[in-house]
Amino acid sequence: MTGGEELRGGAYRGRLAPSPTGYLHLGHARTFWIAYERARAVGGVLVLRNEDLDRARCRPEFVAGMIEDLRWLGISWQEGPDCGGPAGPYSQSQRLDRYRAAFERLREQKLIYPCGCSRRDVLSAARAPHAAEDEPVYPGTCRGGLSSAIAGEKANWRFRVPDGQTISFVDRRCGLQNLVAGRDFGDFVVWRQDGIPAYQLAVVVDDAAMRITEVVRGEDLLRSTARQLLLFRALGWPAPEYFHCPLLCDATGARLAKRHEALSLRALRRAGQAPECLRTG
Ligand code: GLU
């Protein structure tokens, strides 16, 4: 691990990990407010991490926008791209060497394999698979090996999950979770052929290097937590605790997303809403 030597173990360290692919909305406000309150309640440190790996969708104005919106909401953090800190850099696009090192370790241990399938889950691997976007269980087409011509730099790489094994963890809000590898999720992408690490790998490398002790995020990522626990185990790093928040839905029951323009924090601010009314959704 790198950059963590100055960080003391033991004390609470939480994180806010928005992706700058749009303006923050009411759903983010609630999750991030919970994360802020949980860190503040125990006098812990909150880290702001800019998850800007998805180059095709991230834009600089959304980075500035998320910092402005979070501040307006009344949230403060002690480490981040705007204020620095001992575990920086705090933008994922500047941490590629760390992800590459973890990828190489997984490859040396033969825990990942090259995959020649061109599927939607490969293309979208740089972002977190929220709810309905989560990938179908990979049928294992390339598990048996690819021809060496394809297996070079051109391949995507998948983590081989232990089929049939139950991944258990106690979520601090949702309680005991049991997810079965190969049934609830399959072999997942850790590295894309275009040199972009997948969300699942990047988030594990960062949560470990930044010594995050509790991850607060939406409950639509419970299956991703199971995937990430496998990566923590494979890399020999202690995993954080998890607190998955309830999701905020629109009138039709759909999870709020960045396309819900009218519910973006800046639209609500312009409409005269006060931040204290938005913090709890
Ligand atoms: N950047 C991810 C997102 O915005 C973070 C998910 C997580 O908390 O791990 O969906």
- Report pLDDT digits (tens) over 18-69: 999 999 999 999 999 999 999 999 999 999 999 999 999 999 999 999 999 9
Contacts 24+ apart (CB under 8 A), 246-254: 246/219, 247/27, 247/131, 247/218, 247/219, 247/220, 248/26, 248/27, 248/30, 248/281
258 noted as active-site residue: yes
DSSP code of residue 181? B
Q: Which of 38, 258, 260, 269 is catalytic?
A: 258
Q: Can the peptide bond before residue 89 be classed as cis, meaning omega within 30 degrees of 0?
A: yes
Give the max Cα distance, the chain.
Answer: 60
Residue 122's pLDDT is: 78
Distance 18 CA to ligand 1 centre (A): 6
Q: How confident is the model at residue 151 (pLDDT cuts 50, 70, 90)?
A: low
State the pLDDT at residue 47: 98
Tell me the average pLDDT across 72-82: 98
How far does residue 32's CA lie from ligand 1's centre (Å)?
11
Say whether pLDDT at 149 is over 90: no
Q: How far is the CA of 217 from the centre of ligand 1 (A)?
A: 7
220 ligand 1 Cβ < 6 A: no
Q: pTM for this structure?
A: 0.92
pLDDT at 248 (0 to 100): 82
The more confidently predicted of residues 2 and 100 is: 100
